[in-house]
Each structure stands twice: as C-alpha cells, then as structure tokens.
Structure 1
C-alpha cells in the first residue's frame, strides 16, 4: 500500500532544508533574544535578520512584521487591535471566512458591541463587490473589511486589488487572511495595498506553531499577550527562534520557485480533473476549483455523485490522506460552513472531498489516488 498525502491545505511536510536550519539553530543558537549577553544578542540578530528577509518578499519594512504562533493568532491580533486600538466599530466580512476570523468577529461583537455585516458571496465563493460597496456606503462608522485572499476549503481567489481599491475609496481598513496564498502566490504590498495580512509557516513547508502578522506602518499595536514586551511590545512571549528561522528558510525556498511550482501544481490539478471526469462525468468541482486562473493551484474541492460518509475513511485505509472540508474542523460533525453557504440543499447531501497539492506531490500519487477512487466509486 502506498502512502499518499493530498491534504496540503491542512499542513505541508517540512522541507529537509528547513529541518536542517532548525536543527543547527537548536544546537548553536539557544540564547534568549531578550538577554543582553552574547548568546542573547546572537539569537536577537538572527530573528531580526529573518524579519528583514521576510519583509523584503512582501516589499515592506521589517518593523511591519510581527511574529506570532501562527495564522489564527495573527488574525485574532489584527481584528482585536482594530477594535481596541484603532477605533473600529464595524466589521464587514463573509460567512465563508476561516473561523479564526468569523469567531473572533463574533467575540468582538459580543464583548465590544461591534457591528458585524456579512457581504454576499455567490455559489463559487466570490464576494459580491457591488454589495460590499453598498455596505460601505451605508454607514459612517469606522470599518474594517476582512476577506480572505484564498479560501482554505474551495480555493476561490479573491480579487485582492479590486477589494483594496474599494476599501481605499471608502476609507475602510482592509485585512486579508492570506494564509493559503503565502508561499504560493506573489504578494507585493506596495502594488496592492492591504493594511493587514497573516501567514502560517506550516502551509508552505515550514514548521507548525509560527507565523506572522503584517501591520501597515502607522498603526500602533495593543498586545493581547502581556508580560515581556517582546516584538516591540506587540506580543509578549520569548520568540520561537528556531521556528522563525525555519519559516524564513521555507519562505525563501518557496519564493525562489514560486512560478515554476504554481505551473507544476496547476498541471497536476488539470490532469486530476480530466481523469476524474473520465471515471464519472457527473463529478463536479465546488467553488471555482476547475478554473485554474481564479482558484488556487493547491486546492481542488470535488463534489462526487455519491452519498458515502465513509469515503474519507476508505481512502485512508488505502493510504490516501484527504479532507472533507477544513481540517481545522475535522473533529466536528457539523459539516463545512463554506460548502453549507455555497451549495444547494440537494448538493450538500452528496460527498465532497478536498484534495490539496504541494510542489512535492507526484503524478504517480495522483494516478494511485485515481485508481482507488475508481474502485470506490
């Protein structure tokens, strides 16, 4: 039995070069960055050098990058800060965002009486930009728009530049959860102004438990964690030095082959779709999964013409790892909130599977998966 990993939107295997960097750091760079002696200074220098290298990739300054424990913390820090520090009293988001945004917005609504409005999305998961404009024009309240760049379940790509322009025209702050995009798509924050973005290293072959939040220069930050005033006072907690260096290496590796990797994954995805339709012509693709230009090269969400609650388990028995939706909700029996929002009641009765690829996915793995799906279907 082969072992095939097709759940890269949940997490990616750590690149061996990243492991090597982290291993060396654990051996040689154990100082606390807050210590003033030579061991602490060495650790501090490596962290700040990583911050500079990461900032360059997004065409921003190092002072705008705040290291966090991952994308969820970064989303929380940004939304919380917008309300408690930047006087935001209204958040516009969508019902298909990651729960790190939706649940944080709901908390802020309850605790701070923040108004929450949801922009309409179509059956492909694309926000209705006309409705977004209407919502922004309907109130004078200071507003934060929070819409993710790439949906983590269906892969639909947000027209980031258009949303940025709309927010600027209406004096709204703009946050985009870019966790599924970073390491796979180029983001130049000078060409496409966004006030806040987020990253999680384990989505681009880095370690788990580390990420960052980008805060556009000029926006002060009130921390959620208090104690040591690390990260220039934005986040108290001793820096996760080895993981930060691992994230830096993973991002540098991803950036060096970004277009080549995207082309390769789109070729795999296109081949997979063609062969799936050969198995059964009634197979469809959720969101804009079948559109290589408007959906992520890493995600293919497949609507199968069957009702089989055990399909994921059956694939796992054959060594194939996939997801039925967001892996963050894999222990939940409430189903995918994204698919619930965009699919008809009839289509929700059928089995949907998210296959997600990385630069390490092989055509042989795709062929093996197709063979087993043919047997199971």
Structure 2
C-alpha cells in the first residue's frame, strides 16, 4: 500500500477527530470560540438569551419617527358607518389653513390622525383638534400639538428729577399711563423743565415706575413722593428719591424774602410776619428729627449788651411762635446781638447804611445735627 493511501480504519478515526473538534470550544487569544455547526448553534442560543434579558425580543410594537415624552391626548370620534380608511389629509390641511393654522403636520393610520406642530394658545389647540375630528372617516385624533410660549413685553417707566428738571423715560403700557405721568410732571415742574422720552408699548404687562434723582427742596420732594403713590396706571411704584435738604437752609431762604418783623426796640412779632412763621413751621414739620438753633441778631446801634439781650428775646419769641404752630423739633434760642453783622452799619444816614442796619436785624436758623 502506498504511503499516501489510508486504510478504512484510519479514515474512520479522522472523521471522529473532526466531529470532536467541531463540538469542542477552541481557545484563541484567551477567548472561547465555537467551531463548526455546533458552535453556531450555541452562539445563537447565547444571543437569544441576551436579547430576551435586555427586552429586545419583541420589536414589533416600536413606532418609527420621534415620539412625544408626554402621554398622547386622544379625542374619540364616532362615525355612522364605522369606516376608518380613506382619510383625505390634503383636504384636511386645506381646512386648517383656511382657519388660519399654518405649518401643521398630519399623519394618518387608517382612521387615526396624529397632529403635530405649534399653536399659539390652548383655544387654538382645541379648535385644531375639533376641525380634524369633523373630517370624514376620522375615528380618532392623537394630539401632539405644542403651545407656543409667547413672551409678553413688560413696561418700565423711570422718572428722573432734580431741583429744576424732570425727565420721563422708559416704556408704558398705554397712552393713559403716559398721560398720567405727564400730569404728574406738570404738577411739580414748569413745561420748559420737562423732557419727555416715554414710549408706549400696547399690551405690555402692568407697568412699573421708578422715581430717582435728588432734590434739595423738601417740599418738592414730599410732593413728588406723594404724587408717586397716587399713580393708578402702574402695578408697582419704586421710590428711590434722595431729598438732600436742610431745614435751616430752606427757612433762611424764606426769611430772605419775608423776614420776621418786630416792633421797634421790642421782641413783639408784627402780625404781618405770621405767614412767615407758618411757612417756617411747615418746613420744620418735614424735618421732625432736625435740631434747630434760632439765632437773633441786631445792628450796631445802641449798647452792645442791650443789643444781645434784645436779640435773645426776639429769638425766644420766634421759638414760642413755632411751638404755638405745632412744631415739635428740638429748638433753642440764642442772642448774638451785634457780634455777627452781615454788613458794616456804623453811624450814618445814607441809604446804604439804613439798608445795612435793616439786613443786620434778623433771625437766622442753623441746623445743629
């Protein structure tokens, strides 16, 4: 027998070795592989078990496309004949467009119609679903519509003030609100002191208004703050006004125009000066925490000590008049006599000297705190 010829017995042994190899795992680089048809069967069984474990065994129910995270809202529609086929999407879209609804997407599956797209509000959403449900052969409407988020503009006005100017700026929700602010400005400032930069934004949210700036006149500041609180067209009013005023400075400004007059050589206040006393008392009531010194002054005529005593008596008379007018501030009267002359007034009868002596005879206020 030739060397390359095999006996029947040897051929049978080779077949048995091949069968064993096909049914036995073969290690390759540390992994386990399966040879032959038996290996394929084992691998298929392993894959089937993995798919079942991770929930991939049944994919028949998966839908194509992108699904909404929220549950579908459905509207059941009954038909007389139960027909679910033959939905005319083109006609349906035309009906929606005629009603003003553009950009919607409709998908039909038999008599079930899914609606997608954006609508401006809930009322529009309900109308779209109603129109679809009324179409022939529609048995159910699946709502995948999204309501648009419409940003409503807000209105914010700013009133910036100083002693001699008012600026209206920002936005207001209506012409009525703008008119109210302009009236507010006119009540406190002259027309040539107003700068109007207001913009009307119709349909804006209830407006806010802010009062900012600084004034040195307490009466003006009080009027501005009171007027701000009475603006009815604004949902919120913010008062950031700074009143940088001094009670004594305001009162002295009044005295410059309307000095307190006394009977000659006495501390008796003349009746004509009662209006000045009343005005001074109103100013002090706006500064209840102010500690005020009332200083009396005379001219240089007469004995120095007599002038000091007279000036002190006159200051005390003014203090008492303010108390009678309801002033509760801490007050003190001081007599300076001729020690703080505003103008030289030595002897002489010229008009300049007469005017100087009259100016030196005065009451002055000073804020101590």
Q: TM-score, normalised by structure 2?
A: 0.21
Of Structure 1 and Structure 2, which has the larger fraction of its residues in strand? 2
Bigger CA radius of gyration: 2
Say which structure, 1 or 2, has more relative contact order (CA 8 Å, 6+ apart). 1
